[in-house]
């Protein structure tokens, strides 16, 4: 599942992505005819993954796969996303990067209005013996 349409800009700490997938009827996160605002967290998580991949590639490495293990201080200012006419802007900022974990702040906006924001923690899938589910 890929919800993001475009990377607008990125650097070693931040990424700005854009998406119109919230309006698509085939969006896999839709429940009936609605896409709830809580799914903005998935847009943020995907932007974090893209940022990690771009940073790894820039360093000549391959990004380590990770598990999203925590969301903190999530604030939603709307009930749903599917009724918004324009694109979503998704911003992430890497707050902390260790050898086996990362913390990011994320923000999802529509026409300059913040729809969702929060923080997320990701742990390297291979850290501590964690294995991919069978």
Buried b / exposed e over 97-125, threshold 16 CB at 10 Å, is eeeeebbbbbbbbbeeebbbbbbbbbbbe
91 in a structural domain: yes
Count the domains in the chain: 1
CATH of the domain at 28: 3.10.129.10
Domain residues for the domain of 58 are 6-128
What pLDDT score was predicted for residue 129? 45
pTM higher than 0.85, yes or no? Answer: yes
pLDDT in tens, the chain (134 residues): 899 999 999 999 999 999 999 999 999 999 988 999 999 999 999 999 999 999 999 999 998 889 999 999 999 999 999 999 999 999 999 999 988 999 999 999 999 999 999 999 999 887 654 444 44
The encoded tokens of residue 34 equal 């609605």
């Amino acid at each position: 599942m890929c919800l993001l349409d475009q990377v607008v800009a990125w650097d070693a700490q931040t990424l700005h992505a854009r998406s119109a997938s919230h309006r698509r009827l085939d969006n896999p996160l839709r429940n009936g005819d609605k896409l709830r605002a809580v799914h903005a967290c998935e847009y943020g998580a995907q932007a974090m993954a893209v940022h990690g991949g771009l940073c790894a590639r820039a360093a000549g490495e391959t990004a380590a796969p990770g598990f999203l293990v925590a969301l903190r201080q999530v604030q939603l200012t709307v009930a749903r996303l599917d009724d918004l006419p324009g694109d979503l802007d998704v911003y992430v900022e890497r707050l902390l990067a260790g050898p086996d974990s990362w913390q990011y702040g994320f923000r999802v906006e529509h026409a300059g209005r913040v729809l969702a924001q929060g923080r997320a923690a990701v742990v390297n899938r291979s850290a501590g013996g964690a294995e991919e589910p069978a």
